[in-house]
Structure formats: C-alpha cells, structure tokens
A and B are shown apart, each in its own frame.
Chain A
Amino acid sequence: MAGMVLAGCAPSTSGGGAQEDEKSGTLRVWLFREVGNKPKERVVDGVVRKFEKRHEGVRVDVQYIPVDSRAEKIKGAFNDPSSAPDLIEYGNTDTAGYVKNGGLADVSAEFGDWRQAGDVDPTAKESVTVGGKIYGAPLFVGVRALYYRTDIFDDLGIKVPGTLREVAAAARKIRAERPEMYGLAVGGAYTYGAMPFIWAHGGELAEKSGDGKYTAAIDSAPAKKGIAAYTDLFGEDNCPAGKCAEMGGNENVEAFAAGKAGMVVGGDFNRQAMEDGKVKGDYAVVPLPGTRSGSIAPAFAGGNNVGVLKSTSHRTLAVDLMRELAGKDTQRQLFDAMGFLPTFTDTRAQVAEEEPFVEPFVKTLDAGAEFVPATPAWTEIDAGLVLPTMFQQIAGGKSGVGEAAGEAAEKMDKAFAE
C-alpha cells in the first residue's frame, strides 16, 4: 500500500524492454493510415498471410493508426510496453528522437545479414541510422520536385528553367503577366520546400564533427545565400509576404492545384491533389534545378521506416516481418498500389521506367538527396519552429538574413547542446 502511494507521487517512468524472444503468439504491428488506405491494406494483408503461413502458431495483428495523432500513440507505446506493438511504421525524421527515448531496438546485425540491404540507397539508410547503429528498415521515400503549368509556360513563351535563378525569373514573369497568380508558390512555414535552396547553394543546416556532435551551419555564408534566394521570392513580384509568409507546404500545393500558382515545389505524394484539382492535364514535373545549369538542387529525402520496438517479446519474428514488409517485393507492390517510391535503387529504377511520372523524382533522388541532422535535438528544433521563424522574419522584413540566420543558429546550437 505504502509502495503504491509512493509510486503514485512520482512522475512515472516506464521500465526497460521485455527480455524474452517468443517464437509463437501474436505479433502486433502499427502502420500509418493513409488517405485512401485500402490498396495499402491489400498489399500488407498479402505479406502478412504469407508470413503467417511460413511461421506456425503465429498470428499478425495489423492496426492502422491515424497520421495526425501518431506522435501521441507512439509516445504512449513507449510509455507502456505491455500494450505496445512489436513493429511500427514511423516518419524518418523521428528516428533519432525515438532512439533517444529508448523506444526502438538496434537491428544493425540483422540488417547487415539481410541480402537486399546492399541495394538500399545511402540517404534512406542514413534515415534509419543513429550513431552508427541501425534502427529499422526504410519503407519508402518521399521527395519533392518542381511542378509547373505547361499551359502558362506555353502562353507566355517561358522555357523550362535550368537554374534556380531562371526559376525566379520565370516566377516573376508569370506574376507580371498573370497578377492574380503567384509565380512560384512559396511558404514561410514550408521548411522542406526551402531546404533545397540552402543545399543547392552549398549550405548545410548543421555540421557533424568527429565526435558525433552537431553544430548549426545555417548562418554560414553559402547557407545564407540559399536563404536569401528563397526569401527573395516573397514579395509583390512573386508571392506577397502578407499571404505567403504564413503558408506551409499544403497551402502551397493547394494554391497550385487550384490554379493560383505557376509553379510549386511539390512531392511525388502530391500527385493525387493535382489530379483532383483544376490543373489536371496542364502540369508537368522536373527536378528542381540547382545553381548551375544542368545541376539538380538536393531535395529533402522524406519517407517512412519500419522498426522493431525495444519492448517486443518476439524480437526474431518482428525483425523477420520487418524485412518482409520493407523488402523489394512489398515495396514494388506498394508503389503500384499507393505510388510510394521504393528505397532500393534498383527497384526504383525499374518503376521509373514503367511510370514516367516518377522519373523527375527518381532523378532528384539519384542526384543525391539530403536529410535533416540525425539527432534527437531535431525534434525540438522542428517543434520549436526554428526554421519557419527564421524564414518568416526575413520574408516579413522584420530582420535581415544575417540576423535571422544567426538567431536560428543560436537556437539550434542550444538544442544540440542538451
């Protein structure tokens, strides 16, 4: 009784993981519920049925959790191992945070033994790696490229831009000729749309030193050039700050889909929104160009991974299922069903040949994509809106590039130091 009272007085901390490794029983899996989830369920059901047939006495219980409340659900799973799943799908920017929270199991050995692992593209592999150890398998990648309006480009006689400077020029021309439209839709809160500008100018968000510590590099000269190139696009001559400073990626994509913008940085996963919008049939996609003609601006390699929870009591089975779910066959089927880009370079090349739409995205990935710093501090930087604040301050004319970037670097360094 006294123990209970005492335990009730301190904030709770969950104990470590279970140490058994059962070879039968129920394996619980949480996957994200996508918009239009049926095709995904069909693919997963196929994988699961095969898996159950191969392992006697094993039942797999798959649940689809809503993407919006995933953070709470997964935090809950870490806090209460007894009701946690064995295998989860998670956003790749969350990897480092989940590892620090002690939620994900280190599967370096099993990943190394996996025959298909050699074909996983390096950026995708980086997104499951923290401190040299591997905490899951990449399930698919999402990458952004430049959507543009073919009809408007034809009408105004604009050529497809070959450099970021030409992108800006084309944007201003569209705005000048079609004042009711934005040239290139930009957003102060659209971090993933802005990052390629920084990377294209040779900048970095943060640099990793020898001992694995990160220091902010957002205030370095090349990064500042990239920030300036992006924030210059806020203004009456392209996308007025009064409207665009608050926009995020979704608002940008919506503006383009509704015919309100000549260009937008959008993802392969935004295709359906375009097809459902006014611009259907009037748009094309190219890789976002870099600073030099013929180069491609490095894009952010988003996407999801699947990982085994540290608390699982069926470790071997869970790792097996992880490899099945993230394997080439499944990724291929997921592409056909959902349009998710495979994380294996060879599988990706294969699908690009068959589906011309994904070609610019695959090209972007092959040119080398970038990833956010793989540290738990990133979650804090992301939640603290450090980068949106920086872009918005500059776009709104509240401070200069140097000052805003310096402030952002300070905040990032503070988060890295913790």
Chain B
Amino acid sequence: MAPAPAPAPARTSGAERRPVNSRARQGRWTPWLYLAPALTVLGGLLVYPVYQLGLISFLEYTQAQVSGGEPTSFQGLDNYAELFADSQFRQVLLATVIFAAACVLGTLTVGCALAVLLTRIRALPRLLLMLAALGAWATPAITGSTVWVFLFDADFGPVNRVLGLGDFSWTYGRMSAFALVLFEVVWCSFPLVMVTVYAGIRAVPGEVLEAAALDGASQWRTWRSVLTPMLRPILLVVTIQSVIWDFKVFTQIYVMTGGGGIAGQNLVLNVYAYQKAFASSQYSLGSAIGVVMLLILLGVTLLYLRLLRRKGEEL
C-alpha cells in the first residue's frame, strides 16, 4: 500500500499562496481521512482485542480476579512457562498441527479435483455438483457435525450398515475419531476451494489449455504445468485460508467427540483453550494459548508468503 503521490504544487512562501499550501497539506491527509473510519473499525475489532489478549496472558486472571475476590497480579511469562511445561499442551499442539495439515491437504485435493471436474462435465451434472457443494457450504458447522455423527453412529448410523461394520464405534479410537472429524471438515470446507479454483480456471484463456491439449499433455500434466502456475495467487489465498480455518477448528471437535474425545484424546488447541479459559475460568492461561496460536498462524502465513515471493511471484 504505497501512499498516493499527491500532485504537489510548487511551494512558495507567500501570503497570497497560502490557500494552495493548505490544500496541499489537506491532500497529504486526505487518504488518511478517507481511511479513518476503516482504521477505527479495524483498530477496535482487531488491535484492541489482540492487545487485551496479550495483556491478560501476562497476568494472573481467573474468575476470582474478574469479580474482585482477589487482586490482579502481573506474572510475566509464568503462564507461558506453565503452558510449555504441561505435557498435555505439547501433545495437543502436535495433534493440532498434524490434524490441521491433514485437513488442509484433504480440502485442497478434493476442492481442486472437483474444480477440474466441473470444467469437464456437462451443464446438468455441473449444476448438481455445484448445488451439492453449496448445500455443504451453507450448512452451519454445528448442524453438519451433528448429522455426520449420526451418519456414523454405532447403533443407528447408515454408514456402518452400508460398510458392514456392525456396531463399530468411530469415536472410540483416537485415529478413527480424528478421521471422522476430518471427513466433516473437508466436506464443509472444500466448496470454497472448489468454487474459487473453478472461477480461476474459467479465467484462464482457452488457447493456453487448447495448446496444451494439442501438445498431448495429460490432464495431470496440464494441471501441474499450466494451471497451477497460472492459478498460483488463487491457490495461495485458499491455502492460507484453509490453514487458518483448520488450525482453529472448534465446533466439529467439540460436537463430534463430545468436547475432546475419550480421555481428551481428540483435543485440539482451540477446544483446549476453551476448556482452560471458560470451563475452568483460567482466563490468563486461555489467553496465553490464544497468543501461541496467533503467533503460529502468523509465522506460517509469513513463511508461506516468503517462500512464494522467493520464487519470483508478484503478489
């Protein structure tokens, strides 16, 4: 965001020149004036809460402090030390990273594959696929999760009946429970990827694809060597968005595994933070988890942007 070069009139100091001068000053401030409402809103909605989050994470701040039963005290990095000394937190952090990575991979694969498919099929099936995807997209996470749990229910679920799994309980084992949640997450987040990538492919000039086809490139080859480079900015956006979404997954885990699974085996960071901050009112610890998540996500995003820029991509 480069400051707009204001057409600067020649500056001379003279009383009769004053109106022009003040107009120039006005010009310098005009962009900020126009930005002010947006900046105020952004500041209020983003900067202030993040500041509060950071501040609380350095304090001893539980329900007793909020309601005035005990004084608030500054703890420095104690909350963070406690967090990283907690083996469960490290475990949850690792599980979250792996789970989010799997979700991102799944979402992108399914989304891109279906986007390519959309360009290859006739109008009616395309419409149907679009409608199905939009349906999944429009379903609230809590509804989707409940329905998926029911579909995979050990006693009444149709999936087990179709697959002949008897009364296999999906939520009992750690891996199967994570897999079940992964299916739901992919299901509810692939439509965005699909629609965005589909729009991107549509914008690719037909001649390019035709040339690739004439050269005898396979579907996979066309995707790898023609579409991916051309769609890079779009893929970048959907990847970052997926990373952020899937790292922050809450509803699906909370609903489908009953708040973190048997013996907490399916906890992810967000649910863990909720357990700490709200269920047991340790707001400062919950804030510290929030800050750690924020830093990780910022780090991932910056790294990703850097990697891409190094490849000479103009963003």
Say yes or no: A75 contacts B280, CB within 8 Å.
Answer: no
Residues of B within 8 Å of A16, CB to CB, are: 68
The verdict on A79 contacting B67 (CB below 8 Å), with A243-B154, A384-B280 known, is yes
Of A214-222, A291-299, A391-399, the one touching chain B: A391-399
The verdict on A379 contacting B281 (CB below 8 Å), with A14-B66, A102-B64 known, is yes
How distant is the Cα of A398 from the Cα of B265 in the complex, in angstroms?
11
Contact of A13 (CB < 8 Å), options: B55, B68, B168, B282: B68
Of B11-19, B197-205, B208-216, B256-264, the one touching chain A: B256-264
How distant is the Cα of A16 from the Cα of B67 in the complex, in angstroms?
8
Closest to A80 in B: B67
Asked whether B59 is an interface residue with its Cβ less than 8 Å from the other chain, the reply is yes
Say yes or no: A102 contacts B263, CB within 8 Å.
Answer: no
Say yes or no: B70 contacts A246, CB within 8 Å.
Answer: no
Binding site for B on A (CB under 8 A): 9-16, 75, 78-79, 97, 100-103, 188-189, 241-243, 245-246, 376, 379-380, 382-385, 388-390, 392-393, 396, 398
Asked whether B40 is an interface residue with its Cβ less than 8 Å from the other chain, the reply is no
Asked whether B63 is an interface residue with its Cβ less than 8 Å from the other chain, the reply is yes
Residues of B within 8 Å of A188, CB to CB, are: 262-263
Residues of B within 8 Å of A383, CB to CB, are: 275, 279-281
How distant is the Cα of A14 from the Cα of B63 in the complex, in angstroms?
11
> Which residues of B in the span 53-72 have a Cβ within 8 Å of any Cβ on A?
55-56, 59, 61, 63-72
Determine the main DSSP class of B at the interface with A. loop
Asked whether B242 is an interface residue with its Cβ less than 8 Å from the other chain, the reply is no
Say yes or no: A75 contacts B67, CB within 8 Å.
Answer: yes
| Shortest CB distance A388–B (Å) | 8
| Additional pairs, 10, CB under 8 Å, beyond known A78-B69, A101-B63 | A14-B66, A75-B67, A79-B67, A101-B66, A102-B68, A103-B67, A188-B262, A245-B172, A382-B280, A389-B264
Residues of B within 8 Å of A10, CB to CB, are: 55, 72
> Which residues of B in the span 278-308 have a Cβ within 8 Å of any Cβ on A?
279-282
Residues of B within 8 Å of A79, CB to CB, are: 66-67
How distant is the Cα of A15 from the Cα of B154 in the complex, in angstroms?
52
Say yes or no: B280 contacts A102, CB within 8 Å.
Answer: no
Closest to A17 in B: B68
Say yes or no: B69 contacts A100, CB within 8 Å.
Answer: yes
Contact of B59 (CB < 8 Å), options: A11, A245, A376, A393: A11
Residues of B within 8 Å of A389, CB to CB, are: 263-264
Contact of B64 (CB < 8 Å), options: A15, A100, A385, A388: A100
Residues of A within 8 Å of B262, CB to CB, are: 188, 245-246, 392, 396
25 A-B pairs (CB sep. < 8 Å): A9-B55, A10-B55, A10-B72, A11-B66, A11-B72, A12-B66, A13-B67, A13-B71, A14-B68, A78-B67, A78-B68, A78-B69, A97-B281, A100-B69, A101-B69, A102-B67, A189-B258, A241-B172, A242-B168, A242-B169, A246-B262, A383-B280, A385-B275, A392-B262, A392-B263
Say yes or no: A78 contacts B172, CB within 8 Å.
Answer: no
Q: 10 closest pairs, A vs B, by CB?
A: A102-B69, A78-B67, A383-B280, A383-B279, A392-B263, A242-B169, A380-B280, A14-B68, A389-B263, A392-B262
Contact of B69 (CB < 8 Å), options: A11, A103, A189, A396: A103
Residues of A within 8 Å of B259, CB to CB, are: 385
Residues of B within 8 Å of A14, CB to CB, are: 66-68
| Shortest CB distance B253–A (Å) | 14
Say yes or no: A11 contacts B52, CB within 8 Å.
Answer: yes
How distant is the Cα of A388 from the Cα of B263 in the complex, in angstroms?
7
Residues of B within 8 Å of A376, CB to CB, are: 64
Residues of B within 8 Å of A392, CB to CB, are: 262-263
| Shortest CB distance A206–B (Å) | 17
Residues of B within 8 Å of A101, CB to CB, are: 63-64, 66-67, 69
| Shortest CB distance B298–A (Å) | 23
The verdict on A11 contacting B64 (CB below 8 Å), with A242-B154, A396-B262 known, is no
Asked whether B79 is an interface residue with its Cβ less than 8 Å from the other chain, the reply is no
Residues of B within 8 Å of A75, CB to CB, are: 63, 66-67, 281
> Which residues of B in the span 138-157 have a Cβ within 8 Å of any Cβ on A?
154-155
How distant is the Cα of A11 from the Cα of B258 in the complex, in angstroms?
31
